[in-house]
């Protein structure tokens, strides 16, 4: 193993990720683990140089005060205990009541612990991370087979690229094209993974299947449910066709773990990687990115040679264009929303807005308005443009796009997209609007 590691034990602190990031910014890899890790599990982690017991307000769970396994004090690792009254002080390098308030003092404390007490080497970088994960995946998987649902999103793409390096031919990727992808996205998954990286890629063209299930369904939540459950069904069918698969790889990243709830923090939302597979399709999980933050996942993708367009892809909802083609989906409007979206993305890229704006897309509603085309009355759909900025997607403000850019996009949509006679720009912040229209 190439990287030294400091383990943070989550004993109810709200600062676990801050501490992990602070240690990583000193150049030392750091992982967060649950407080009740056993001594054996801790010893099995590669290259542990020191342990931080990170106590905090959430250390009382269901009225019971939780604690770490006392055996971990006997393993000989330098230990720093923070906000942990029960710490066995004689076995610790330092016991603090709380983290220093000043950022600089905290950094200095960590620097001294990590380098002076733990003698860790500053050898955390993406090259070493990838090398270590390749070795760990090889150990876990052996000569068995691994399955991956490759959506083309950043996380699943980076996992695929990493696993191709680690286990190559033992990996099978399944890309389900539900017909609700943006223009060129499924094609780029095939181009990058099948043609360039030589992956075993099963491409499932399920457009007709999804569209027939969605025919006439106008309720947004029903549409979401149908898309989600149909996706699992198609994936399950493909998995059953393959023989002898023991492992399922997932692009779980650290924020997914936090949002799904840890032992000391309540769930924010269900983490929606491929869950919901039937009981008899049991796989062991392979999750090589589970300790990374989003920016680190992107850096990992770049290091693995994935194209910028894939690595810096803007967030895209699982139900895809299905929630941007409002009401009951028709092919006509789905094509309009996809073509208009491609124009928007092209013009944003030309104006340098693709790197600046958090999320931007088009929406086509299910009503028409009157217009004139070639001196005759026409009755066609509007396209709505939306461009928003946000930190956490809980609230969002609109991007004040330059008029000339908006006019150029409008002009192109009018000329190039069929069945459209009007373009509007959505000025609504979240709240009261949401980012998506459905």
Which residues of this chain interact with ligand XMP, rule CB under 6 A?
A: 224, 315, 317-319, 359, 393, 430, 434-436
d(CA 142, CA 247): 11
H or E segment and range at residue 53: strand 48-55
Taking the least distance from each CB to ligand XMP, the nearer of 18 and 436 is 436
**Least separation, in Å, of the C-beta of 317 and ligand XMP?**
3
Helix (H, G, I), strand (E, B) or coil at 190: helix
**Least separation, in Å, of the C-beta of 438 and ligand XMP?**
8
**Least separation, in Å, of the C-beta of 252 and ligand XMP?**
14
Under a CB-based contact definition with an 8 Å cutoff, are residues 153 and 301 in contact?
Answer: no
Taking the least distance from each CB to ligand XMP, the nearer of 46 and 317 is 317
Taking the least distance from each CB to ligand XMP, the nearer of 261 and 318 is 318
d(CA 309, CA 307): 5
Using only the alpha carbons of the chain, give its radius of gyration.
25
H or E segment and range at residue 109: helix 103-111
What angle is formed at CA 311 by the lines to CA 194 and CA 175, rounded to 5 degrees?
A: 35
**Least separation, in Å, of the C-beta of 129 and ligand XMP?**
26
Under a CB-based contact definition with an 8 Å cutoff, are residues 50 and 40 in contact?
Answer: no
d(CA 19, CA 1): 23
d(CA 376, CA 421): 12
Taking the least distance from each CB to ligand XMP, the nearer of 7 and 396 is 396
Taking the least distance from each CB to ligand XMP, the nearer of 230 and 246 is 230
Taking the least distance from each CB to ligand XMP, the nearer of 114 and 274 is 274
**Least separation, in Å, of the C-beta of 85 and ligand XMP?**
40
**Least separation, in Å, of the C-beta of 373 and ligand XMP?**
32
**Least separation, in Å, of the C-beta of 230 and ligand XMP?**
14
d(CA 28, CA 23): 6
Measured between alpha carbons, how far apart are the two ends of the chain, in Å? 47
Taking the least distance from each CB to ligand XMP, the nearer of 53 and 321 is 321
Phi, psi for 276 (deg, rounded to 5):
75, 10
d(CA 381, CA 325): 11
Identify which of 295, 290, 345 has the alpha carbon closest to the alpha carbon of residue 316: 345
**Least separation, in Å, of the C-beta of 232 and ligand XMP?**
14
Taking the least distance from each CB to ligand XMP, the nearer of 193 and 360 is 360
d(CA 396, CA 154): 22
């Amino acid at each position: 193993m190439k990287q030294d590691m400091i383990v943070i034990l989550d004993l109810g602190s709200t600062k676990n990720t801050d501490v992990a990031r602070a240690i990583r910014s000193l150049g030392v890899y750091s992982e967060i683990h649950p407080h009740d890790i056993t001594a054996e599990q801790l010893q099995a982690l590669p290259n542990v140089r020191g342990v931080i017991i990170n106590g905090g307000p959430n250390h009382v769970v269901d009225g019971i005060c939780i604690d770490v396994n006392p055996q971990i004090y006997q393993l000989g690792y330098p230990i720093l205990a923070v906000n942990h009254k029960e710490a066995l002080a004689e076995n610790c390098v330092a016991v603090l009541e709380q983290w220093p308030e000043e950022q600089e003092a905290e950094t200095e404390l960590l620097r001294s612990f990590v380098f002076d007490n733990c003698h860790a080497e500053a050898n955390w970088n993406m090259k070493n991370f990838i090398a270590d994960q390749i070795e760990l995946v090889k150990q876990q998987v052996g000569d068995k087979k691994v399955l991956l649902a490759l959506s083309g999103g950043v996380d699943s793409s980076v996992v695929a690229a990493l696993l191709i390096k680690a286990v190559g031919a033992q990996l099978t990727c399944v890309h389900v094209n539900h017909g609700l992808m943006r223009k060129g996205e499924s094609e780029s998954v095939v181009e990058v993974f099948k043609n360039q990286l030589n992956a075993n890629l099963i491409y499932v063209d399920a457009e007709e299947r999804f569209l027939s299930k969605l025919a006439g369904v106008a309720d947004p939540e029903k549409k979401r449910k149908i898309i989600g459950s149909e996706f699992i069904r198609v994936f399950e069918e493909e998995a059953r066709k393959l023989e002898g698969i023991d492992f399922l790889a997932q692009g779980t990243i650290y924020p997914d773990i936090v949002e799904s709830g840890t032992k000391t923090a309540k769930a924010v939302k269900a983490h929606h990687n491929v869950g919901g597979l039937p009981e008899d399709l049991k796989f062991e999980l392979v999750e090589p990115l589970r300790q990374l933050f989003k920016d680190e996942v992107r850096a990992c993708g770049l290091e693995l040679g994935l194209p910028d367009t894939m690595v810096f892809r803007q967030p895209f909802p699982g139900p895809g264009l299905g929630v941007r083609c409002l009401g009951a989906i028709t092919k006509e409007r789905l094509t309009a929303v996809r073509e208009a979206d491609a124009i928007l993305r092209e013009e944003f890229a030309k104006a340098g807005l693709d790197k600046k704006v958090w999320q931007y897309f088009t929406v086509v509603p299910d009503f028409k308005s009157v217009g004139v085309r070639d001196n005759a009355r026409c009755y066609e759909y509007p396209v709505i443009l939306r461009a928003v900025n946000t930190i956490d997607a809980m609230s969002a403000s609109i991007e004040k796009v330059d008029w000339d850019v908006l006019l150029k996009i409008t002009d192109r949509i009018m000329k190039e997209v069929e069945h459209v006679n009007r373009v509007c720009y959505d000025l609504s912040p979240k709240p009261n609007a949401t980012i998506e229209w459905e």
